[in-house]
Structure 1
Amino acid sequence: MSSCAAIGLFAASGAVAQTAPAQPTSAVAEQDAVEEIVVTGSYRRSLEEAVDIKRNTVGFSDSIVATDVANFPEQNLAEALQRIPGVTIERNKGLGGRVSVRGLPSEFTFVTINNLATASGSGGRDVEFDIFASEVIQQVTVQKSPRASDEEGGIAGAVTISTARPFDYSGRKLVASAEGAYNSISEKSDPKVSFLASDTWGDFGALVSFSTARRTNRTDSNSGINFRPMFRFLEAGGTRASQAAAVLARDAGVIVKSNTNRDETGRIIFQDKVGDRAYLNTQDQWGGTLSLQYKPSANFDVAFDAMVGGFDGTEDEYDAAAYSASSRSTLETIHSYDKDTLSKYGMVVLRDVSYTATQHEMLSKERISETDYAQFGTEFNWRGDDWKLHGLAGYSGAKKTIDFSNLKHVAYAPSRTRWTANGGETIKSANPASIDMYNSPSRYLFEAYETTLEKIKDDKYAAQLDFTKDFAFDAFPALKSIQVGARYTDKSKERQYGALNIQGPSKGSTAWLNTRTLADSQLTPIDQLVPGGAYSIRDITWSQISNAYARRTFRYDGFTTPFTPGDFYEVSETVTSLYAMADFGFDVGPVPVAINGGARYVDTSVTSSGYHQVQTPTGGTTYTPEPVSSEGGYDKILPSVNFTAELTDTIVLRAAASETLMRPALTDLAYKRTASWNSFRFTDGNPNLKPTFAKQWEVGVEKYLPEGGLLAASYFSKEIEGVVRQALTGTVKNVTKYNANGSIDGVYDFDVYQPINADGSYKVSGVELVAIVPFGLFYEPLKGFGINANYTILDSSLTGQSIIGVPTPPVGLADKAYNFTLFYENDAFQARVSYNYKDKYVEGIGYEMYPIWREGYGQTDISVSYNLNERVQLSLEGINVTDEATRGYTMDPSFPTMDERSGRRFALGLRMNF
């Protein structure tokens, strides 16, 4: 975005020196390159810098530099990264969040900022990029083939992010920008401002940058339409089970042989829930960097870097939902069924059904999240004639608070629920007791005002020291250098959680249960609850209680959500690493060859402590939390080799092979138990999880063209073992399940699921293609035009995660992804049109049986800028200009699960460079 350009940010030259120390660039040349990029904001020159980084790196990598980020209309750092070959992002309500590399799951990507592992409060290894402002970033490189000195490497790749330092500039620099952005659905305009100031005084320098922005976005969604297996009714016993079996036989010709055989009843499907939802997301994001640098000579420098920021989000969700699988209901009439679409799995899908007692819900949900992150680090480089000593130490931490509430009103009545072309709908049934669920507020009884409070603390410390010695042996001229080093990291996550339901006007009161109705509260039409007018997914409207009214009315004086001791857990992980690697250079005939080879030894210790829910000695359904802790560990040697051969002045052959790992999420290692009451299951953590390992290799060829052009193709293969997945590990008998009003729903057996390391391994292979082509190379009248395109296609051997034998690729893996940017620029004007596409992928497996797919998604973004003079630039940018919807389905597109629209976003910006 143009505001990102404000941060003038930073050229890639310094990063080139870090990435390829064997090929340094002179300080004068570095300064000249920086000045040219900062002044002109040239997208073409930014591509040239990124291509230079790629060429000078031993191994497979791709980069973007600040001016590349600057000239795209991104809302955060994640969306900036999607321009890198092989990188795609996962979107949530129109905003880019987690990053995946080469179509692999986002948790396989390792992320560092200034060479420190990054905390974002998620507790996982995947970083929540939406909290980071792209304006405070200098350069991003995705390292796709690890070296021994890399901290972990990541199975998909390592995203290494760097911020700016004062000596990246030739002198004083001041850049500022302002921007206003407009969302087409919410019809709200949001501000963004940013600046950077940098100066040097002899041997000392200081730099500060800052960015703040607000984002107001509305999303409309018809969703929640998942498969529900018929054992929900058939295992209930009594009339509910017998009537369901009779209706199946009468209306669909399905004869149930055993109500308890889930291999049979799990293949008879009905709709779980249909919801029409309007979301309003308001996000305030700020971030800043500070860098102090002392550089008395070219042989010594020391720097202190700080990066701080915050991300505060409030999401209002207004949900009118019909829960077909309610505890009071069963089948009444099957109007339409499908025995053909999924017949190869022996499955019958009930497409259109009337139910005896659907649970209609009006839900006003409020999610307030506050994240504060900070990173502090110091780094030094000391060089001699033939040696270099490098060290760093730092801290990265995040604190997150999540305050959630759900005001729930319920009406039980017969109704009819069915699939539609893009989702689902609930309408009145032929039963005289049926209701119009959208316009019957007096029928909805207050059930609960549910509140939860969660606090997460995520801390990471690191220290590293390494030594490099250059060699010039006459007896062994191929040996160029040896590098040895050690790194120590300490990571921890602490989580507190509590929940409390309000059911009356004072503590402990239940006066509102079964007496207060939806009509007794102040109701607001949906087109006024969220800005932007009518609900855009379907031609319906309804009224609900605003979250502001709910908070004022239902939270009595002095109310707080207390933390529950039994829900506390803490996980800590320490890693000691030793590594050694060598660089070789020699000629094979006329071909210069460079090889980097080495190995990394990692020794890991894990301590997990918390509480485990233990059944009372007398049995029954009472559970009490007992403190528990576990210690474990593992070690591993990870070899790697990277090979480069310059076949000609413009053609480079690369190859790489390595073994790498991705550690399990800290939250999966924790002692905890989460109950999913409607799914009749407990989910536990597993302190004994091991990492996921991968053996991988890659070979590719690159053709470098003048003016930063590039044509590249590579083939990669990964054998992955120990994948973490949820598995059924036990059963808890005779669990009493209660309704919100305190009545007993029933006594059930609950399945216990835990994350485990799956047996065996699977292979992922793929091809990655890159083309950066300035058209003026081939046809002079097209000078200024060009393309920047990349394409990744994958193939995976993994199938059979479904317990009923439905072939399923790894969760999160997309078969193909591509980016395409057409650009034009001259001295004063720049224009870009970019299309980013990620193919369909499985985002989850319902009931461990049914793969739930996210449909392929493509988004078109545009950016146009004009230099009013050499210091002032005006820009216009658009995100998702074709207003694409996000959709998903279960197993087959004719069974949609979601139709979600977040609208277009346009921004007008002004940048000033002094």
Structure 2
Amino acid sequence: MKNRILGTTAFAVVAATPFVALAQTAEPAAVASQATATLDEIVVTGSYRRSLEEAVDIKRKTVGFSDSIVATDVANFPEQNLAEALQRIPGVTIERNRGLGQRVNVRGLPSDFTFVSINGLATASGSGGRDVEFDIFASEIIQQVTVQKSPRAADEEGGIAGSVNISTARPFDYAGRRVVGSVEGAYNSISEEIDPKIAFLASDTWGDFGALVSFSTARRTNRTDSESGINFRPMSRFLATSTGARGTQAAAVLLRDAGIAIPNRSDTNVTNRIIFQDKVGDRAYLNTQDQWGGTVSLQYRPSSNFSLAFDAMIGSYDTTEDEYDAAAYSASSRSTLETIHEYDATTLADYGMVVLRDVSYTATQHEMLSKERINETDYQQFGTELNWSGDSWKLHAIAGYSGAEKTLDYANLKHVAYAPSRTRWTAEGGETIQSANPASIDMYNSPSRYLFEAYETTYEEINDDKYAAQIDFTHYLDFSFFPALKSVQVGARYTDKSKERQYGSLNIQGSGAGKVDYVGRPMSQSELTPIGDLVPGGDYSIRDLNWSQVSNDYARRTFRYDGFFTPFNVGDYYEVTEEVLAAYAMADLEFDLGPVPVAVNGGARYIDTSITSSGYHQIQTPTGGTTYTPEPVSSDGSYDKVLPSLNITADLTDSLIFRAAASETLIRPALTDLAYKRTASWNSFRFTDGNPNLKPTYAKQWEAGLEQYLGDGGLLAVSYFWKEIEGVVRQALTGTVPNVTKYNANGSIDGVYTFDVYQPINEPGSYEVSGVELVAVVPFGQFFSPLEGFGINANYTVLDSSLTGSSTLDIPTPPIGLADNTYNVTLFYENDKLQARASYNYKDEYVEAIGYEMYPITREGYGQVDLSASYRVTDSLQLNVEGINVTDEATKGYTMDPSFPTMYEKSGRRINFGLRMEF
């Protein structure tokens, strides 16, 4: 039977069977005692402590390395979404976006190294990559999540870091009728808004039939104040890419104020090592999320040997983000250096770099930006699962569809004021102030100086569809000549994945189509609102600043003329399809090595993958212009591979278990990287092409570990893992395009430049990643009776990697997304009425991006304290209170050295109060 922890109020971090998405029927009696057999239904009585005990028992009986989190039924994940719930699992951390968990990292590796499935089907979320945006999923509709770290041949390939297998609830998971509901209010300390959440689950069985429905809806209003955008910009912006007076003056000021001589302005190896600030921005975000999700499960189970289930999961995640940005763009096309007040030739001297810390500029582009991002995602998944077994065999089959439709509507109202100013780094970010030049302005309080430049709009539609079918057959054996061989399993799987993307952009510059009568209109002629009123919660919290600008509501009402729409550009269209046929075989063995019982699972998986990527391409016209092909042009790619796997468990003593695993696995390239298209980054002077001929990133890996069971649900575990990764996908310079005309937002010509062309490639060579993972589940009462009810559930992962990122200046760079240290600690207490938990989750610093392919940008280490408590008033009524980020931690980042901060961002605390009812 499928392993599920069931009950009333608990959720737990557990180690569970890697066969999480397979049969719910019981195993034949002949093999029920095997170490590889799954467990019968486990009923947990609403106790976090009890659920941990059962989890430890499950871990003890499985082959392979795997950990889980279980919501015993609806409304038991205490975090804002599913991503935040998963951070309690050993080796799992999350990536946050403005205070909200969004993507999952396993063992410190990048999120796109993780494979995600729901009820055995690969999951669509509209991201276009292999990573899944977990924030779209309502956590209350999820029953169990298993992170599988050592694959078997029968498991779908796709995760170098691990595979996240999500399960939704089914009616026969519960003994009879079950009705659970909850209501909750959540308060954000910055926005000062109270958001509602409602969740409901109803399940019942009638003889051989059962039905279950669950539903959750929530609104979240998150405000984030941020001082950010303070990245490095190479002096080649003024020297190598410009001619005439601006370049000449920049070179003269460098010599006069810093003693730096530039004999050859075109030598980018020199000019790219002289750094100034790109942009300094003070920003307030208001992110409003409306989320709902529901599941339906129908199940027919006439006997313990036969089960047929249909599962449906549908939902929607709509978010509107208002960003109000007062920024100073030091690298404007009109500006150059005026005075260098302070420079730093020592901090990054090992790389031959000089950083201009404090500079006055001749014509900074001051910007008031009112940005609006409206993202709407609708997702659905439908699947059916068959489990049928006899005395010596078992048949398992699944088939289903997962799809997501996403639209992204973006607008940016841009007012610009050109004037001299002074920009410098501060302890937490940067600031722009008036310079000594008499033409300088107070950028925050000069609305009449800001002129309308453009109301920029983009619109994107994404369709992400995935189909899958799998069938496998297991035969249980009892050979007298080979008693160790207990079972063999063979199977096949077919998947069909596709992503289609439409994209368009249009700048409004007037009161109607083709008109430019708004250009040069002062911002003071629009309705202006103080920043403390544009977003709820009052004054800007990062710095003692106040400014006024145009609200997004006013901008949409005023500047979008009747009949306006954003047209799609055929040059930005692409479609990628991927078909995979897999076949596998594996066997289970049990035998004794002396006094030590050993269980072995081994096998191999063969995959054959075909890719077709289509898009419109530019062609030259007879008159010298350009147009696009009348029909999409396609490019095909393919690859095949055999992936072996081996898992071993040995019971060294009654309480000490040794585990080992070895396998070869892969992660496929993102569908967006495979797309047959070209996109332009005008400010970076580069084109980015797709590459349909990309191959997967492969990994050879092994792991070994010991688990000491303490009794009374206690566990101490340690494992060492090693991975050799080859074919890492990275962006590489593959060519140039000369004589590209670059335009400003108002339609004027900025200049004619040579653009670099970058493509994703499989980097040659291989790299090693190794690490240690520690897990401790310790109920204190077994050692000291007065501490009965208290305990700790903790895990720690440390990595060591030879994997490096790519810097065109040969700056040593860790791989993007890899953190060396992560740990989670939960202290808990419970009795018959009260449960309380305090958790701390920490992820070490990691490289978030490489600016201009040269400078590693690091997200600082981040730790967060969360609290939760529940009190059972009656058998059917429970009160809950939760605190998320109760210490109000800020998110920080820097470029190359902490003295050059890029971001300081605060999203506040979140306090939840809830009522839970069972009927």
Q: Aligned-pair distance for 1:566? A: 1.8
SS of residue paired to 1:477: coil
Which one of the candidate residues 246, 253, 259 is aligned to 2:252? 246
State whether structure 2 residue 907 is matched by structure 1 residue 898: no
Compared with structure 1, are the counterparts of its residues 23 and 315 closer, same or farther at alpha carbon in structure 2 (3 Å cutoff)?
A: farther
Residue in 1 that maps onto 2:381 = 375
Q: Aligned-pair distance for 1:49? A: 2.9
Compared with structure 1, are the counterparts of its residues 710 and 28 closer, same or farther at alpha carbon in structure 2 (3 Å cutoff)?
A: closer
TM-score (norm: length of structure 2): 0.96
Q: Aligned-pair distance for 1:466? A: 0.4
Q: Which moved more, 1:702-711 or 1:187-196?
A: 702-711
State whether structure 2 residue 409 is matched by structure 1 residue 409: no
SS of residue paired to 2:712: helix
Q: Aligned-pair distance for 1:611? A: 1.8
- CA-to-aligned-CA distance 1:128-168 (integer Å, 9 cap, x gap): 00000111111111110000001115100001110111111
State whether structure 2 residue 482 is matched by structure 1 residue 491: no
Report 1:99-248 matches (<5 A).
99-235=104-240, 236-248=242-254
Q: Aligned-pair distance for 1:410? A: 0.5
Residue in 2 that maps onto 1:465 = 471
Compared with structure 1, are the counterparts of its residues 745 and 153 closer, same or farther at alpha carbon in structure 2 (3 Å cutoff)?
A: closer
Which one of the candidate residues 20, 45, 49 is aligned to 2:54? 49
Distance across 1 between alignment mates of 2:345 and 2:830: 57
- 8 Å contact kept, 1:611–1:672: yes
Compared with structure 1, are the counterparts of its residues 412 and 239 closer, same or farther at alpha carbon in structure 2 (3 Å cutoff)?
A: same
Q: How many aligned residue pairs are there?
A: 904
Letter aligned with residue 284 of structure 2 = A
Distance across 1 between alignment mates of 2:75 and 2:730: 38
Which one of the candidate residues 340, 344, 355 is aligned to 2:350? 344
Distance across 1 between alignment mates of 2:875 and 2:40: 21
- CA-to-aligned-CA distance 1:281-310 (integer Å, 9 cap, x gap): 000111111000000001111000001110
Residue in 2 that maps onto 1:509 = 515
Distance across 2 between alignment mates of 1:148 and 1:141: 17
Q: Aligned-pair distance for 1:632? A: 1.2
Structure 1: where are the runs of 5+ without partners? none
Distance across 2 between alignment mates of 1:634 and 1:237: 48
Q: Aligned-pair distance for 1:319? A: 0.4
Which one of the candidate residues 617, 632, 639 is aligned to 1:634? 639
Which one of the candidate residues 299, 316, 320 is aligned to 1:314? 320
Q: Aligned-pair distance for 1:896? A: 0.2
Letter aligned with residue 337 of structure 1 = Y
- 8 Å contact kept, 2:108–2:820: yes
- CA-to-aligned-CA distance 1:501-522 (integer Å, 9 cap, x gap): 11000111011112x1100100
Q: Aligned-pair distance for 1:617? A: 6.4
Distance across 1 between alignment mates of 2:488 and 2:807: 48
Distance across 1 between alignment mates of 2:754 and 2:884: 49
Letter aligned with residue 378 of structure 2 = D
Which one of the candidate residues 330, 336, 349 is aligned to 2:336? 330
Letter aligned with residue 350 of structure 1 = L
Q: Aligned-pair distance for 1:403? A: 0.5
Which one of the candidate residues 607, 616, 620 is aligned to 1:611? 616
State whether structure 2 residue 409 is matched by structure 1 residue 398: no
Distance across 2 between alignment mates of 1:694 and 1:451: 42
- 8 Å contact kept, 1:669–1:686: yes
Report 1:663-682 matches (<5 A).
663-682=668-687
Distance across 2 between alignment mates of 1:9 and 1:563: 46
State whether structure 2 residue 448 is matched by structure 1 residue 446: no
Identity within the alignment, % = 76
Distance across 2 between alignment mates of 1:8 and 1:863: 12
Report 1:618-697 matches (<5 A).
622=626, 624=628, 627-697=632-702
Q: Aligned-pair distance for 1:56? A: 2.3
Q: Aligned-pair distance for 1:685? A: 1.0
Which one of the candidate residues 416, 437, 462 is aligned to 1:456? 462
Distance across 1 between alignment mates of 2:140 and 2:7: 7
- CA-to-aligned-CA distance 1:605-630 (integer Å, 9 cap, x gap): 000001233455676x8564673210
Which one of the candidate residues 563, 566, 572 is aligned to 1:558? 563
Distance across 1 between alignment mates of 2:39 and 2:684: 63
SS of residue paired to 1:791: strand
Cα-Cα RMSD:
2.0
Residue in 2 that maps onto 1:432 = 438
Q: Aligned-pair distance for 1:739? A: 1.1
Report 1:569-580 matches (<5 A).
569-580=574-585
SS of residue paired to 1:234: coil
Distance across 2 between alignment mates of 1:625 and 1:153: 35
SS of residue paired to 1:762: strand
State whether structure 2 residue 731 is matched by structure 1 residue 726: yes
Compared with structure 1, are the counterparts of its residues 437 and 5 closer, same or farther at alpha carbon in structure 2 (3 Å cutoff)?
A: farther
Letter aligned with residue 343 of structure 1 = A
Distance across 2 between alignment mates of 1:323 and 1:775: 57
Distance across 1 between alignment mates of 2:124 and 2:285: 27
Compared with structure 1, are the counterparts of its residues 266 and 16 closer, same or farther at alpha carbon in structure 2 (3 Å cutoff)?
A: closer
Letter aligned with residue 250 of structure 2 = A
State whether structure 2 residue 705 is matched by structure 1 residue 700: yes
SS of residue paired to 2:448: helix
Q: Aligned-pair distance for 1:430? A: 0.4
TM-score (norm: length of structure 1): 0.97
Compared with structure 1, are the counterparts of its residues 298 and 42 closer, same or farther at alpha carbon in structure 2 (3 Å cutoff)?
A: same
Residue in 2 that maps onto 1:827 = 832
Distance across 2 between alignment mates of 1:609 and 1:43: 51
Distance across 2 between alignment mates of 1:480 and 1:8: 36
Q: Aligned-pair distance for 1:672? A: 1.7
- CA-to-aligned-CA distance 1:50-95 (integer Å, 9 cap, x gap): 3233222211011111149965530000001000000000000110
Letter aligned with residue 502 of structure 1 = I
SS of residue paired to 1:868: strand
Distance across 2 between alignment mates of 1:287 and 1:892: 43
Which one of the candidate residues 567, 570, 576 is aligned to 2:572? 567
- 8 Å contact kept, 1:487–1:577: yes
Distance across 2 between alignment mates of 1:191 and 1:55: 40
- 8 Å contact kept, 2:69–2:89: yes
Distance across 2 between alignment mates of 1:181 and 1:254: 56
Following superposition, which runs of at least 4 residues in structure 1 exceed 3 angstroms of deviation? 4-31, 67-72, 613-619, 621-627
- CA-to-aligned-CA distance 1:426-483 (integer Å, 9 cap, x gap): 0000001101000001111100001111000000000001000000101000100000
Distance across 1 between alignment mates of 2:140 and 2:741: 52
Compared with structure 1, are the counterparts of its residues 25 and 405 closer, same or farther at alpha carbon in structure 2 (3 Å cutoff)?
A: farther
Compared with structure 1, are the counterparts of its residues 333 and 59 closer, same or farther at alpha carbon in structure 2 (3 Å cutoff)?
A: same
Letter aligned with residue 305 of structure 1 = D
- 8 Å contact kept, 1:7–1:195: no
- CA-to-aligned-CA distance 1:711-760 (integer Å, 9 cap, x gap): 00000000000001111111000001111222111100001111111111
Distance across 2 between alignment mates of 1:360 and 1:603: 54
- CA-to-aligned-CA distance 1:640-674 (integer Å, 9 cap, x gap): 10010011111110001100000001111001211
Q: Aligned-pair distance for 1:187? A: 0.1
Distance across 2 between alignment mates of 1:248 and 1:15: 63
Q: Aligned-pair distance for 1:889? A: 0.3
Distance across 2 between alignment mates of 1:683 and 1:466: 42
Distance across 2 between alignment mates of 1:118 and 1:545: 39
Compared with structure 1, are the counterparts of its residues 617 and 880 closer, same or farther at alpha carbon in structure 2 (3 Å cutoff)?
A: farther
